[in-house]
Amino acid sequence: MATVEKQEPVFDLIKSMSKAEKRNFKLYATRLAGNQQSKFLTLFDHLDGVEEYDEARILQRCPIKKEQLPNMKAHLYKQILVSLRLLNVQHSESMQLREQFDFARILYDKGLYRQSDKLLEKTRERALEIEEYTIALDVLDFQTRIAMLNVTADTPVASDASNRRVQELCSRIETISEFSNTTVRVYSLYQKLGYARTQKDLDLIVQYFKPRLEGYAGRKMSFLEQFYYYQASVWYYYIQHDFARCYRHSRLWVALFDAHPRMKVLMYDNYMKGCSRILEGLFIMQRYRPFVEYLDRFEQEFDSLARQNNNAFILSHRILYTARIHKCFFEGTFKEGTWLIREVESFIGRYSKHLDIHYKMLMNYKFACLYFGDGNYLKCMEYLARIIGTKDPHVRRDLQCYARMLNLIASYEAGVDYNLDYQIRSVYSFLVKMNDMHEVQREMLSFLKRLNTIYADHLKDELKILYERLKPYETHPYERRTFYYLDVLSWLESKITGKSVGEIIRRKFRESTSGKRL
């Protein structure tokens, strides 16, 4: 049984710090002469110098008693966060606004009401400029408290104006919350199921989510309202297979940030996610030239995006690696793709704690597909085993189902087919249990089940029959989802023509790009 990695917040926080942040913390912590030998600094140095958290080793190396350790870790954790805040506040307008709000509170507590109100007014104006509506709402509430201390003839008029501002802010916050909640729900559904599989799935999605989006189209909205509307719309259309509309809203999403460059810095993560959606949409729609053009644009911005902070570094690399793998799928350059795997695996290993299971499963599936295209079926099966071995069958059920299908084909190609009948029954049972059995899967399983009864000189004819049966499903509203995960048709062509899958895909790529604008 796999061991569960113990979470130690202070250890993880230290390991996430850059050299500059560690140096700044040491300067902050030793600002008083008495802190030079503080126990929490000794604990910091120890944790910084080890690769794994080991409590017994800490007690041996540090002058800390066992009963003191929990409090010492909590104190160190807090001190690190304080130093990071002091270091990063100059780079974050949101943090600066909260700092100004805190300063206004200090002035208020000292009875300096005019100074406090003046600072709050500047803070509110700036908060509205960058659409930090919750901060602006807190400021308005505080300003009302100050106004109550000095009631004049103008107070009722000012109070009415303040009330209107509060109502407007609450309305905007409510709209943003509605869009944000819709996005989370659609994305959670996608992580669980993948794309809509049946008309019933589609009806449920439309009935629940459409009323939450359709009333806002064309309405004048703030930057944040527009952003959350585009984001919710992207996932709404994505899960329905409507990639044209998904791509259109992704473009609007990124164009919104292009029109407001300052917001790229404030919301760098959401800007990059918009870029990711564009690249994903172009890949699924098989529009190679726009894909390459947009990948070039992202690579030009990559350094400036990645260097902002640790989170930006991780997110930008996730997007870049996925796009480069997709480029290999486009071009059929699977050998080059397998060379990329080592670099991506090093990234995943280094930032494993920061990467969710969804991303790891997805990359394992893409690695498997690269090795399959390169003809290395045993390596393909090695990565598929990581997905098939997932304990929770409801995490990315789509990947778990298609990993089993691809594993059957790879087993056959690798000659590891001594228990193929058992594998087929197992996969069939899993697909039925997951309610993910469709016509493409039925045809494939039926063919694989009959393989041992097909004479060698009849195999090519049977493969041609299967190809003709599956080809129409390539454009079917729901059956086509299989071809997003498995390029079954290229595999069948390779078996019929005697060429490798890579050769088939490279030929298709040359034909699709010769003299055509994609």
| Confidence check: pLDDT of 484 > 90 | no
97, 136 in Cβ contact below 8 A?
no
The rounded distance, in Å, linking the Cα atoms of 194 and 87 is 41
Rounded Cα distance, 133 and 181, in Å: 17
Question: For residue range 228-249, what is the model confidence (pLDDT) as tens digits?
Answer: 989 988 988 888 888 899 999 9
269 or 462: which carries more pLDDT confidence? 269
The whole-number pLDDT of residue 172 equals 87
End-to-end CA distance of the chain: 49
The pLDDT assigned to 34 comes to 57
Which span out of 38-47, 52-61, 200-209, 319-328 was modeled with the highest average pLDDT?
A: 319-328
Share of the chain above pLDDT 90, in %: 39
Taking each helix axis from N to C end, the angle separating 488-497 and 501-513, rounded to the nearest 10 degrees, works out to: 110
In the chain, what's the furthest Cα-to-Cα distance?
A: 100
What is d(CA 114, CA 146) in angstroms, rounded to the nearest whole number? 9
Cα-to-chain-centroid distance, residue 403 = 21
Q: HEC states along 85-137?
A: HHHHHHHCHHHHHHHHHHHHHHHHHCCCHHHHHHHHHHHHHHHHHCCCHHHHH
Q: Report the pLDDT value the prediction gives residue 257, as an integer from 0 to 100.
A: 95
Mean pLDDT check: name the lowest of 32-41, 46-55, 252-261, 356-365. 32-41
- 425: CB partners within 8 A, 6+ apart: none
pLDDT digits (tens, 9 = 90+) for 57-112: 888 888 888 888 889 899 999 999 999 998 888 888 889 999 999 999 999 999 99
Angle, helices 93-109 vs 113-129, to 10°: value is 160
- CB proximity list for 281: less than 8 A, separation 6 or greater: 238, 243, 246, 247, 250
**Residue 426: is its pLDDT beyond 90?**
no
Q: What is the predicted pLDDT for the residue at 153?
A: 47
Least confident span in 45-54, 455-464, 497-506 = 455-464
134-143 confidence digits (pLDDT tens): 999 999 999 8
Mean pLDDT of all residues belonging to the chain:
86
Q: Which whole number is the average pLDDT over 148-155?
A: 60
Q: Residue type at 439?
A: E
CA dihedral in degrees (472, 200, 362, 279; nearest 10)? 70
pLDDT tier at 3, thresholds 50, 70, 90: very low
Q: In terms of pTM, does the model score above 0.85?
A: no
Model confidence band, residue 161 (pLDDT cutoffs 50, 70, 90): confident
pLDDT digits (tens, 9 = 90+) for 195-209: 667 777 778 888 878
For residues 282 and 285, give the distance between their C-alpha atoms in angstroms, rounded to a whole number.
5
Compute CA 26 distance to the chain's CA centroid, rounded to the nearest angstrom.
34
Q: In percent, how much of the chain has pLDDT > 70?
A: 92
